[in-house]
Structure 1
Amino acid sequence: MQRRDFVIFGAACGLLSATAVAAPVAGTALSLPMAINKSGRLRMLSQRSAKAWLLLVQGVLPERGRSILHQSLASFEQILGELKSLQPGDEIRGLAQALEQEWRACRPLLVDIRSDAKAIWTHNEAVLAAAQKLTVAYEKVSGTASGQLINLSGRQRMLSQRMAKAYLFRQMGVNAAEASSMLDASMKEFAKAHETLKAASQNTAQIKAELALVEQQWFFFQNALQLTSAADRVKAASDVGTTSERILEQMDLVVGLYERL
């Protein structure tokens, strides 16, 4: 990445940090359902930022990939700050600090396309693990069925990006065997969790309708993930990048509806 790209990147992040995620209304306390959603969003953003980095490195959807990366990094930073307003107990406070520490190690790698891909893999997985622990801790404090649904649907949001990340790592030939296993496990987990969400007694008519749309997007996403032809690797990666964004958008609507329960 040339110096000019770094300058543009920095300016874009400065702008996006103020706009990428809506800030809480002044005087409005962060609720536990909101905290579960936001910490769960950090899981997703960890995977989405790695996906975007891989798109850029492979020269796939360069403008879109750059936009996704900038937005993901800025959103991650903002949510870290927001969660500091609701850290009930030493456990959550410690987990939040551990997550921030892992993120500080990973973020510099993501802003440079010259970074070592295996280092990205290692640090990105550490960020995800830390965000998962924090989200589960918030759900535990909540102790409600709706909290469980926010966590589960939020994890689906993350898996949409994790599958794309695994696909792109495999296509790049980096940790290919591990990436194949990650992709297979994530696809199975997503399918199983979707059935669990569909069966939830708390589902409203709107949630059922949105989950049906997720199922449609899942069909297209699976087709993209099964593209393995070496004839047009760029198109295959482009399809994965595009469909992963579509299912993420739809799944995000579902998480928001569960939060409002």
Structure 2
Amino acid sequence: MAPPAAINKAGRQRMLSQRAAKAWLMLVMGVLPDRAKYILGQSVTLFDAQLAELKTLLPSDELRTLHLQLEHDWGRFRPLLADIRNDPKLIWTASEAVLTIAHKLTQAYEKAAGSSVGRLVNVSGRQRMLSQRMAKAYYFRQMDINTAPAGEMLDTAMREFDKAHGDLKVAAATTPQIKAELALVEQQWFFFQNALGMRDAGGQRKAATDVGTTSERILEQMDIVVGHYEKLAMGPQR
């Protein structure tokens, strides 16, 4: 596996830690339950597969140590996702632990790659994670669980997403094609912000559904963007 692909896959593990938690919360709340069940199953399966794939590219002691820690933390988080009767606070703690170590692993791969475009693979990949993190925080807040920290998490993630989006648009390596894809993300971001800001009781049900669907659309679109940066980081193909 080439280093840019490893950055992408490790970065996707960050996203999956938040997406799995989001889907679990959707099931608990009864928000699009069939879709949520599919998202949860897909997220767990993909995390398992990528964990195995990343094991084939661990060229340093640091990467090997981080991968072992990710395996350990995922091993604690994964069983919790199998039962919606579990304490949501356990989901909060376990998903945060997996996110933290997956982010360290992604940064280590970026450092090993040592390229400016590799950094853009990381940054754009983190946008995928933030799309799911915002949804996770929103659902925790709606459930009145860890309400204050969830509100802070949501506000911080929204600010970080907005800033990184602007940075990607003006990055020297960003091609016209990538800019066009980012413009599509921007359209969904407008709708997403509206849904995330919905607090009145009358609109909460619709907002909860919109958060679920729009977070997925942004994820899909950002995945395309990450793929473009990954190809750039790989250099000309012969």
| Same-fold status (TM-score > 0.5) | yes
Q: Secondary structure of the residue that 1:86 maps to in structure 2?
A: coil
Q: 1:41 aligns with which of 5, 9, 12?
A: 12
Unaligned runs of 5+ in 2: 233-238
Q: Which residue of 1 aligns with 2:22?
A: 51
- State how far apart, in whole Å, the 1-side matches of 2:30 and 2:209 are: 10
- State how far apart, in whole Å, the 1-side matches of 2:133 and 2:2 are: 27
1:217-236 alignment, distance < 5 Å: 217-236=188-207
Q: Which moved more, 1:182-191 or 1:201-210?
A: 201-210
Structure-2-length-normalised TM-score: 0.96
Q: Which moved more, 1:96-105 or 1:234-243?
A: 234-243
- State how far apart, in whole Å, the 2-side matches of 1:249 and 1:221 are: 14
Q: Which residue of 2 aligns with 1:31?
A: 2
- State how far apart, in whole Å, the 1-side matches of 2:20 and 2:201 are: 25
RMSD value over aligned CA atoms? Answer: 0.7
Q: Which residue of 1 aligns with 2:92?
A: 121
- Larger helix fraction of residues: 2
Q: Percentage identity across aligned positions? A: 65
Q: 1:108 aligns with which of 79, 83, 98?
A: 79
Q: 1:133 aligns with which of 104, 107, 112?
A: 104
Query: Could you tell me how far 1:32 is from its partner in structure 2?
Result: 0.2
Q: Secondary structure of the residue that 2:182 maps to in structure 1?
A: helix
Structure 1 ranges of 4+ moved more than 3 A: none
Query: Could you tell me how far 1:217 is from its partner in structure 2?
Result: 1.0
Query: Could you tell me how far 1:231 is from its partner in structure 2?
Result: 2.2
User: Whose relative contact order is higher, 1 or 2, with alpha carbons under 8 Å and at least 6 apart?
Assistant: 2
Q: 1:169 aligns with which of 140, 147, 159?
A: 140
Q: 2:118 aligns with which of 147, 150, 160?
A: 147
Q: Which residue of 1 aligns with 2:33?
A: 62
Q: Which moved more, 1:183-192 or 1:218-227?
A: 218-227
- State how far apart, in whole Å, the 2-side matches of 1:211 and 1:172 are: 32
- State how far apart, in whole Å, the 2-side matches of 1:194 and 1:32 are: 23
Q: Which residue of 2 aligns with 1:196?
A: 167
- State how far apart, in whole Å, the 1-side matches of 2:188 and 2:204 are: 22
Kindly provide the CA deviation profile for residues 52-82 of structure 1, in whole angstroms up to 9, marking residues without a partner as x.
0000000110000000000000000000000
- State how far apart, in whole Å, the 2-side matches of 1:112 and 1:207 are: 40
Query: Could you tell me how far 1:235 is from its partner in structure 2?
Result: 1.9
Q: Which residue identity lines up with residue 82 of structure 2 in the other structure?
A: V
Kindly provide the CA deviation profile for residues 81-105 of structure 1, in whole angstroms up to 9, marking residues without a partner as x.
0001101110000001101100000
Kindly provide the CA deviation profile for residues 13-60 of structure 1, in whole angstroms up to 9, marking residues without a partner as x.
xxxxxxxxxxxxxxxxx1000000000000000000000000000011
2:217 aligned with 1:246:
yes
- State how far apart, in whole Å, the 1-side matches of 2:139 and 2:223 are: 22
- State how far apart, in whole Å, the 1-side matches of 2:73 and 2:44 are: 14
Aligned length: 232
Structure-1-length-normalised TM-score: 0.88
Q: Which residue of 1 aligns with 2:236?
A: none
Query: Could you tell me how far 1:232 is from its partner in structure 2?
Result: 4.2
Q: Secondary structure of the residue that 1:120 maps to in structure 2?
A: helix
Q: Secondary structure of the residue that 2:57 maps to in structure 1?
A: coil
